[in-house]
Structure 1
């Protein structure tokens, strides 16, 4: 599970009366362990939430296939969630109940600008939304669409702002970006950068370099893509790389349709415009492209209790973690009727002649 979900995933089912098994991500075991210790310090009874660091294979073999598994609350990759769903389907006849499957998986989150957008907030949203936490958030901006008429000034400001970002040790408070989480993530980012460097469809606006001599560091990278379906515009990367497609101003409708359909995901998205009629039009065109939608704000940073979080399509089941909508998924409803004036009649009134 991702860091952003460590609180909700094991505790939501437990709060409404279930026993939970908590399998942390292999790259987040330590932080998850400390949170488990905090729960115990706060008085969590033993056996309610059970912290079980293990391999995914063992989780599938011993837990997902167990007849008493009543639900699976997941944050992670789309591929893993699909494999779990498949395994549940194959074992459906052996469960005591039909398991509840709730997943928040991948994303290819977007920022879409109109030519009436305020430049500085747009630039800030792209830079911060793409590069904070090294882009390792499911809601991080990973692609952007910018109209040609404002692109020159947007490009200039993106270069200037990205150049100010300090990449280094997180113990230094002025550091904006650290290393990516592990070697596998580094190699993924490196692959996208290398292929973009070799492709005639791409040019670097910023970054495009990396260094693993000490840690796994990828510089904040902005790629301008000549086509909106180039791989870095449609595939999830989960790193500090954002791809931008510059569209002709008179191709707004066409480009909105591409943004909606080019990626299988639908997690978060944002639009920037000052024309209210255009805002309404863009929101309508992109209503199915994200579960969390932002107007004149970055596409990341949902606040629990204020902005229920989740997405649909390949991004998950959209059960809105952190809200009552999610909690209901872990409850088995029980309806009771008591009659204080029980009827002794058998025949219904319409059956009797007047």
Structure 2
């Protein structure tokens, strides 16, 4: 399968020169925007404006979908899925491998668009095409491992043949967030496609263009056009009709919304996977490499301006290294290059919206008013971008402060001392979340033992979050109110399938034979069970 579409030009017009101010030299080309927005299924005649958080400039007007458009999206997706499910695993895998190459070849275009829509630093935007390439290659190379029909042991050796097929669910509804607009729009859908499903996607309204570019690249890689449908509009309007027609729902977003979605899926008896909120901890143990821990803490806390589901908002540091660690952590944070630009030089970009800025500002102001100490940062920086907030380190945060247990989702971290490691683990487990954690220690065995005590779906040792996030074979997801289900690994693709057992019986039937009475049959079966145990059979 190959695409007949010609290779398009770049979405962003302007010199790729870091000396230039991108707010003055970059603009989206209207015809390229039209190609993207034309992929939205919309008959309403309504549009919604999208603006760049870099400087507030308009990027596009996104057509808005209705419940009827959602219904049409499912109709088209189901028609395409019926044919796609008959496509060989080899052809599906080949399309994923083509996508791998296209994403790497077009990464500059992808990065520009991600940055213009989200305002994040370029090095953090790079995580997105990197993650999609890793995901596409992993599932393409392991398709048979996950999806090929498997032979299992039958009840009667030699006479009962059992196979398990992996049958696609049908059409998967994916509701993706704004914080990683390219990777979150695609990464959950790639294994769904490989498993033989179609997708109806509703990306967040703030970052539709990045998601639409992803849909376009899927078609260029050879996936059938109708297999991946995109609708646009408020979640409160489109969420219910998406769930009403889906065979499975994948959602990434807030815990509050996730609970509503879980209830709606339960009403229909369909499955769902939910990656939700977090208040993620780091533990810096007494034997930690302080410099390495400080470097990791900066990335853990301030990557994507803290707008990352697995970013750190709570840090527990052993007394023995606390002062040295804080000195290096504060110094490294103060050394960050801040800026809302498209160049590689910025270490941290802007928040995405006025709402995010208001939340971050309110959390910091509340903490300071109640006695917390700002070690660095603590201010909005409208001179850099309308929604920019400095990377902020707080000490003395206590339970009555809003930021103590509530997710900030911004560049704010609270640091606490600990003396006893058991107490540190208990404090790390405090609250209702359980998404990601990190442990810094030079004793790997000890850190891994401690990891088993932490109630988080992923735990990184001597790393902020990338070790688990980029290891696509490892499942990723949350415990407790941080969600249910997993992306990545075998769990990330098997969630989109139904296991179907097929058993073929030879010669012997499961009832009395050759004039045998029911009582004699029961005795024969009992002897057979005892024999199987002696032979070590499962």
TM-score, scaled relative to structure 1: 0.88
Confirm or deny: 8 A CA contact 2:301 2:413 kept in the other structure: yes
- What do residues 19-42 of structure 1 show as CA deviations (whole Å, max 9, x unaligned)? 211000122211101111100111
User: Which one of 496, 499, 502 corresponds to residue 336 of structure 1?
Assistant: 502
Note if 1:293 corresponds to 2:459. yes
Note if 1:209 corresponds to 2:376. no
User: Which one of 70, 81, 98 corresponds to residue 247 of structure 2?
Assistant: 70
Confirm or deny: 8 A CA contact 1:141 1:300 kept in the other structure: no
Counterpart residue number, 2:354: 183
Confirm or deny: 8 A CA contact 1:145 1:244 kept in the other structure: yes
> Using the alignment, how far apart are the partners of 1:33 and 1:344 within structure 2?
56
Question: Unpaired runs of 5+ in structure 1?
Answer: 93-97
> Using the alignment, how far apart are the partners of 1:164 and 1:60 within structure 2?
43
SS in 2 for 1:143: strand
- Change in Cα spacing, 1:6 to 1:350, as seen in structure 2 (3 Å) is same
> Using the alignment, how far apart are the partners of 1:139 and 1:229 within structure 2?
24
> Using the alignment, how far apart are the partners of 1:282 and 1:293 within structure 2?
10
Counterpart residue number, 1:273: 441
- What do residues 198-246 of structure 1 show as CA deviations (whole Å, max 9, x unaligned)? 111x101110011346421000001112537743232211111111112
Confirm or deny: 8 A CA contact 2:475 2:492 kept in the other structure: no
SS in 1 for 2:188: helix
Shift of 1:345: 5.7
Aligned-residue CA RMSD (Å): 2.3
Counterpart residue number, 1:259: 428
- After superposing the two structures, state which structure 1 stretch, 303-312 or 44-53, moved more: 303-312
Counterpart residue number, 1:60: 239
User: Which one of 320, 323, 326 corresponds to residue 489 of structure 2?
Assistant: 323
Confirm or deny: 8 A CA contact 1:108 1:142 kept in the other structure: yes
Segments of 4+ moved more than 6 angstroms: none
> Using the alignment, how far apart are the partners of 2:367 and 2:398 within structure 1?
12
User: Which one of 247, 263, 278 corresponds to residue 86 of structure 1?
Assistant: 263
Confirm or deny: 8 A CA contact 1:111 1:299 kept in the other structure: no
Shift of 1:276: 5.6
- After superposing the two structures, state which structure 1 stretch, 172-181 or 51-60, moved more: 51-60
TM-score, scaled relative to structure 2: 0.59
- What do residues 297-320 of structure 1 show as CA deviations (whole Å, max 9, x unaligned)? 21345114243321211111142x
> Using the alignment, how far apart are the partners of 1:344 and 1:180 within structure 2?
66
- Change in Cα spacing, 1:10 to 1:59, as seen in structure 2 (3 Å) is farther
Counterpart residue number, 1:49: 228
- What do residues 156-184 of structure 1 show as CA deviations (whole Å, max 9, x unaligned)? 11221111111112322210111101111
Confirm or deny: 8 A CA contact 1:134 1:179 kept in the other structure: yes
Counterpart residue number, 2:528: none
- Change in Cα spacing, 1:135 to 1:150, as seen in structure 2 (3 Å) is same
* Greater radius of gyration (CA): 2
